[in-house]
Structures are given as structure tokens and as C-alpha cells.
Amino acid sequence: ARCFRRVKTCYCKAIDPIDPGVKFVVLMHPKEAFKQKTGTGRLTHLNLVDSEVIVDTTFDHNARTQALLNDPAYYPVVLYPDEAAQDTETFPFASVLHRKKLLIFLIDATWTFAYKMITRSASLQALPHLSFREAYRSRFEIKKQPAATYLSTIESAYYLIKELQTAGVCAQNLNPEGLMDVFELLITRQKHFIAASPTSPLV
């Protein structure tokens, strides 16, 4: 009931949620929520305390998204590495956070849909855009990506937490390795199913 997977492929026992000290909100396209067999957005949510999943295609009229955007307790940003984005090394966290909690929106969709979700949501476009300081290569070897540097949602959360630790936003003693552990478990299981039945869809 938590990971929405069959008992034989359930990940719940492998999940040990951590509190990164920032709020992650996964903005999930409906196709990721209801059709994607290997989506990592929900696994990201299950691994992070105080995180949420909001399913929609646009967010200017999404009540929960707008409530979070207008909540004075948060400083919202969106992880979207376009030309306007600032990386975690140059972003002025110290001057903008004050007593607010950093809120990070993660877009969970294919790259085409992610672009549409951003461009069709003016309230997301207006947010500060955050990107990574380093260039990472995806380990999602069972799924074809447009390029090796295109990361899954759970990889994005993992690397961002690591960089936020360096930036002094997340606690130094926090161990985010559990996100990658469950991600590697997902890959291992899917490779097993593919090897056992090459003509079958991913389970």
C-alpha cells in the first residue's frame, strides 16, 4: 500500500526514511503515477521525511501546490537546470532562507512532459531555478535516457542532498545512501526480470 508494488517486488522493507531538513515535493505527471513501471518519484517520496507527491500536468490551479507556494514558512525553488538556474555553490541560501525552510519541487516526468509541466505553469517558472554544481552520470542502466547526464528523480534527490550538505543547508551527519541503495535494488530486480523473460514488459 505504500510503494504500490506487488508483494514479490515490494521495496518497503528496504526503505529507511531520512529527514534532510528541507521539504521535497515531487510534482508527478499522471503517466508516472499510473502507468510507469519503474518510476522513482514515489520511491523518492518514501525515502524522505516530510516529502509529498502531487499528481497533475499543470500547477497554477493545483490547490496543494499553490498552498505550499504561499506558505510563509517555506522558501520554494524548483530543481530545473536551465540557463537561468543557479547551482548549489552560487545560490544565496544564507541570505534568502533566514527562518524559512527550503522547499524543493522535483519534476517527475519524461523530459518532454517535464518541459511542458514547467512552461505551462507560470508559478513554477517564476520560482528560483536550482541546478547541480557537478555533472553526474545516471546509473539508470535499464532505461534509455536522452543523455548520460539525465538523472532519474531519486538520483536527483540524492545528489542534491549531497550538494546541500556541502552548502551547509543539510546536516553534515545525514546519510542519504539509502536512496541509492533502493534505486540499485530496483535496477537489480528489473534486470533479473528482463533476463528471465526478455520479451515481457518490465514488472
The pLDDT value recorded for residue 122 is 97
Distance CA 131, CA 88 (A): 7
124 versus 112: the higher-pLDDT residue is 124
How open is the CA angle 70-82-48, to the nearest 5 degrees? 55
Compute CA distances 166 → 80, 115, 132, 181, whole Å: 20, 29, 12, 21
197 versus 86: the higher-pLDDT residue is 86
147 versus 177: the higher-pLDDT residue is 177
Q: Which residue has the cell 519503474?
A: 38
Three cell numbers, residue 80 = 530545473
Decide if pLDDT at 45 tops 70. yes
The pLDDT value recorded for residue 145 is 60
The pLDDT value recorded for residue 148 is 47
The pLDDT value recorded for residue 3 is 59
Instruction: Give the range among 38-42, 172-176, 187-191 with minimum mean pLDDT.
Output: 187-191
Three cell numbers, residue 27 = 510534482
199 versus 54: the higher-pLDDT residue is 54
Please give the mean pLDDT across all residues of the chain: 86
Q: pLDDT-derived band of residue 9, with 50, 70 and 90 as boundaries? A: low
The pLDDT value recorded for residue 193 is 64
Average pLDDT over residues 10-37: 84
pLDDT tens sequence across 56-114: 999 999 999 999 999 999 999 999 988 889 999 999 999 999 899 999 999 999 888 99
Percent of the chain past pLDDT 90, that is, above it, reads 63
Q: What is the pTM of this model?
A: 0.86
The pLDDT value recorded for residue 160 is 97
Distance CA 161, CA 67 (A): 24
C-beta of residue 120 within 8 angstroms of C-beta of residue 58: yes
Highest mean pLDDT (candidates 7-16, 85-94, 177-186): 85-94
Distance CA 141, CA 155 (A): 12
